[in-house]
Structure 1
Amino acid sequence: MRSWALAWQLARRFRRGRERSGFLSFISASSTIGIALGCTVFIAGLSVMNGFADVLEERFLKLVPHIQFTAVEGALQYPETIFQLAEQHPEVVAARPVIRTQGLVQKGREFVGVQVTGLDPSTPHAISEYMSARSWQALHEPGAMVLGADLAAKLNLTVGDKFTLVVASERGFQAPKRQALTLAGTFRFGGQVDHQLGYVSLATARQLVGMEQGITGVELELSALFAAERVANEIGYQLQDYVFLEHWMRAQGHLYRDIQMVRTVMYLVLVLVLAVACFNIVSTLVMTVQEKRRHIGILRTMGMRAGGLVKIFVLQGLQNGMLGIAVGVVAGSLLSLNLPALLTLLESFTGSSLLASDVYFVDRIPVRLQAMDILWVATVALLLSLLATLYPAWQATRISVVKAISA
């Protein structure tokens, strides 16, 4: 321990010596600043990726069915089997009956496509969080429909207005069916959802598709999102009905894969940035070894072994790295915590939105700072700093004592 303490003190003196050239001081400072900037950007980037992953899991996937079993034709023959299997499965949180169809909303001469979902208003559903309680309760009324706010605005519809929904016939080439409906309310979720979706009760949906009873599908909500494919297969293979088996990883999994791909690319790019910053440590130590040849010679004549010299220059490089890491961790954490406010301020100055609410299901950059990300970034930076010190430290042990003293 005493040898390490001595090496630490000598490393500090070599690093802060008054006789250091201005250029060497500049290279040393640039290595510290480079590591600090790399850590800052790394932590902020990972925090943003965490935020998008959270929004995907906690918001968007609440609206998208985790698993859906849909009849191949007409209604499900044995829907009770699905509900029984879902109730018995430990990873299924809820099972909901649905009827889905496609239609065209007609207002005057204008037609707009809409995906219609029939659901049971007495069963809790995530979409109810994005509409008023009055609109949700109004779905119990026959002929009532709730549309996305942007879709209703496009059609110039207000609550209580009548409109016509045109639904294609599922039997051959018969004329499409027209149903008069009343706008019971609107919801605002964000993104294209507000332009494309509409909700009705199961009774109204049966009238639209020409069914007297039954349902066309069952949605399952899971406690473990990434078990969707496995759970869907476990339940699906036990069904008597012929069904289309869908889960969110097949329908919307590209969103999660995109986030993970960007995260992986960010790892590679920012590790390279940190590596380049750490190369400045190599330059700093190589120049320090040449500048301190006489000091090295004196230390060797006083009995310091090669291992002691290695400790000195390794610790000198680590001092640069640790200072940069400390500054980068603090700056990255502060930037991550204040990034949404900073971007909001930027939007107010530029007058434009980074995430348009009519395109994306979020209207601001989400951020979640994780302690493990900070620890991971600091560890990677510290290891790269350590690797950068090995060659200069080894080079210091090869200096001839006689030539160093006589220089």
Structure 2
Amino acid sequence: MFKPLIFYIGLRYTRAKRRTQFISFITLTSVFGIALGVTALITVLSVMNGFEAELRERILGMTSHATVTGLNGQLDNWPEAEAKIKNQPHVEGVAPFISGQVMINADRRVSGTMLNGILPDYENKVSKVGANMVEGRLSDLTAGSYNIVLGAELANYLGVIVGDKITVISPQINSTPAGILPRMRRFTVTGLFKVGMYEYDRNMALIHLDDAAKLYRMDTAVSGLRIKLDEIFNAPRITRELASEFYGEYVVSDWTQAHSNFFRAVQTEKRVMFIILLLIVAVAAFNIVSTLVMVVTDKRGDIAILKTQGLTSRAVMGIFVVLGTIIGVTGTAIGTLGGITLALNASTIVRKIETFFQVNFLPADVYYISELPSKLVLTDVYAIAGMAFLLSLLATLYPAWQAAKVNPAEVLRYE
């Protein structure tokens, strides 16, 4: 079989003789280092992609893609605003809401929480809370019934179950002969929801819109309208169009404004992690330099003989570029395969480790998500593999150049 001379010699140098076992060990270390770095980089970025996607889905499953309020902070005639907005392009659903902070008391337990007034039929058009009910139904919230749906973690903290009575204490005040007292109302727990995010499961409760209007003394007004769009990533552009359409009537904001700092922090952390882990790949790649320098030193006699046989300096340089490239490609290929395998099975592996060692890496009361998600993005894999290969290739240039400078006359004089 025909093999190009440069490639054949470079491939031959990857196999060790008895006297070059140490060089072979260093070569294997370089391959392992690159593979480990690439595996870690692919796995960590996949997990971070998974966290970002899961957080975005859960947050936007509870909050709106866009929000419309009045210039005074509330909407006085929301049906009119709803009629205008739902006929706009890209709008898939509109739902009114009333929102405020309250205290909830159950026996001796008290907790502050966000209390939202909703219309169940409308709410299902803009959020996934109805699909995340673990007990009861969202439709049990009817006007005048003073029923309430709690987050599962909030109910667990208060020690209440479906059917129990709780007291909601509003910051609104009543003037009575006994003095100024906060507004209080007894509610019946008719349902529990769990979306998998501690922030919402622990700090949110839902009641009917009319009950919220009475509790907050808002009459027919609402806090605003929640809007679901056909494409969440186009929310900034769509909200700008809506804002210009209703300029002077309503204030329009989108989810990127409401959660901009959070998602910007996630992106920044992802970039920093990429740079840190890329340094591991870089260190491993530049181990190739020391490997090739030792190979060049060991093969000086061979290089001199090849040059006397007519091999050019460029060809000699090519031999060691091939050798270093083989090391880099092998390490990158192993690391890519290992990274993809780990990324696709990260959740399963972590669960087995937690079960075996009886530990919990992501406690629900500390982290937004209590399970380890992973999302493999092929563009990330291509970028990581490409960077690892490029670093490996760059690491070959100096030793290859040193090999090309070998003077046959000086080397063979002492042979």
TM-score by length of 1: 0.91
After TM superposition, the structure 1 stretch with the greater mean CA deviation from structure 2, 162-171 or 297-306, is 162-171
Aligned to 2:340: 333
Aligned to 2:190: 184
Compute the displacement of 1:138 (Å): 0.8
In the alignment, is residue 143 of structure 1 matched against residue 132 of structure 2?
Answer: no
d(CA) in 1 for partners of 2:354, 2:113: 32
Q: In the alignment, is the contact (CA less than 8 A) between 1:78 and 1:241 conserved in 2?
A: no
Compute the displacement of 1:85 (Å): 4.8
Aligned to 1:32: 31
Compute the displacement of 1:379 (Å): 0.7
2:167 maps to a residue whose letter is: T
**Cα RMSD, aligned residues only:** 2.4
d(CA) in 2 for partners of 1:245, 1:176: 32
Q: In the alignment, is the contact (CA less than 8 A) between 2:39 and 2:338 conserved in 1?
A: yes
Which string of whole-angstrom CA distances, capped at 9 and with x for unpartnered residues, describes residues 70-120 of structure 1? 346574134355434533443333221111122111223543212111111
The equivalent position to 1:395 in structure 2, one of 402, 408, 412, is 402
Q: In the alignment, is the contact (CA less than 8 A) between 1:148 and 1:196 conserved in 2?
A: yes
Aligned to 2:47: 48
In the alignment, is residue 154 of structure 1 matched against residue 157 of structure 2?
Answer: yes
Alignment of structure 1 residues 2-401 onto 2, 5 Å: 5-18=4-17, 20-71=19-70, 73=72, 75-80=74-79, 82-123=81-122, 124=124, 125-132=127-134, 134-140=136-142, 142-169=145-172, 175-190=181-196, 191-239=198-246, 245-401=252-408
d(CA) in 2 for partners of 1:338, 1:263: 20
1:405 maps to a residue whose letter is: L
Taking structure 1 as reference, are residues 74 and 287 closer, same or farther at Cα in structure 2, changes over 3 Å only? closer
Question: Residue 137 of structure 1 aligns to a residue in which SS?
Answer: helix
Compute the displacement of 1:20 (Å): 4.7
Which string of whole-angstrom CA distances, capped at 9 and with x for unpartnered residues, describes residues 15-47 of structure 1? 214255232122111111110101110110111
Identity of paired residues, percent?
A: 33
Q: In the alignment, is the contact (CA less than 8 A) between 1:146 and 1:186 conserved in 2?
A: yes
d(CA) in 2 for partners of 1:353, 1:67: 36
d(CA) in 2 for partners of 1:164, 1:241: 40
Q: In the alignment, is the contact (CA less than 8 A) between 1:81 and 1:239 conserved in 2?
A: no
Which string of whole-angstrom CA distances, capped at 9 and with x for unpartnered residues, describes residues 34-71 of structure 1? 10101110110111011011102222221122222334
Q: In the alignment, is the contact (CA less than 8 A) between 1:105 and 1:113 conserved in 2?
A: yes
Which string of whole-angstrom CA distances, capped at 9 and with x for unpartnered residues, describes residues 328-350 of structure 1? 11111121222212211221233
d(CA) in 2 for partners of 1:152, 1:224: 34
Q: In the alignment, is the contact (CA less than 8 A) between 2:325 and 2:393 conserved in 1?
A: yes
Taking structure 1 as reference, are residues 60 and 296 closer, same or farther at Cα in structure 2, changes over 3 Å only? same
Taking structure 1 as reference, are residues 314 and 129 closer, same or farther at Cα in structure 2, changes over 3 Å only? same
Compute the displacement of 1:313 (Å): 0.7
Q: In the alignment, is the contact (CA less than 8 A) between 2:66 and 2:227 conserved in 1?
A: yes
1:23 maps to a residue whose letter is: F
Compute the displacement of 1:169 (Å): 1.8
Q: Unpaired segments of 5 or more residues in structure 2? A: none
d(CA) in 2 for partners of 1:311, 1:155: 72
d(CA) in 2 for partners of 1:209, 1:73: 16
Q: In the alignment, is the contact (CA less than 8 A) between 2:135 and 2:193 conserved in 1?
A: no
Q: In the alignment, is the contact (CA less than 8 A) between 1:31 and 1:281 conserved in 2?
A: yes
1:126 maps to a residue whose letter is: K
After TM superposition, the structure 1 stretch with the greater mean CA deviation from structure 2, 225-234 or 395-404, is 225-234
Q: In the alignment, is the contact (CA less than 8 A) between 2:117 and 2:209 conserved in 1?
A: yes
d(CA) in 2 for partners of 1:196, 1:49: 25
Q: In the alignment, is the contact (CA less than 8 A) between 1:192 and 1:359 conserved in 2?
A: no
Taking structure 1 as reference, are residues 41 and 109 closer, same or farther at Cα in structure 2, changes over 3 Å only? closer
Q: In the alignment, is the contact (CA less than 8 A) between 1:78 and 1:240 conserved in 2?
A: no
Question: Residue 8 of structure 2 aligns to a residue in which SS?
Answer: helix
d(CA) in 1 for partners of 2:109, 2:14: 75
Compute the displacement of 1:176 (Å): 2.3
Compute the displacement of 1:251 (Å): 2.9
Taking structure 1 as reference, are residues 118 and 241 closer, same or farther at Cα in structure 2, changes over 3 Å only? farther
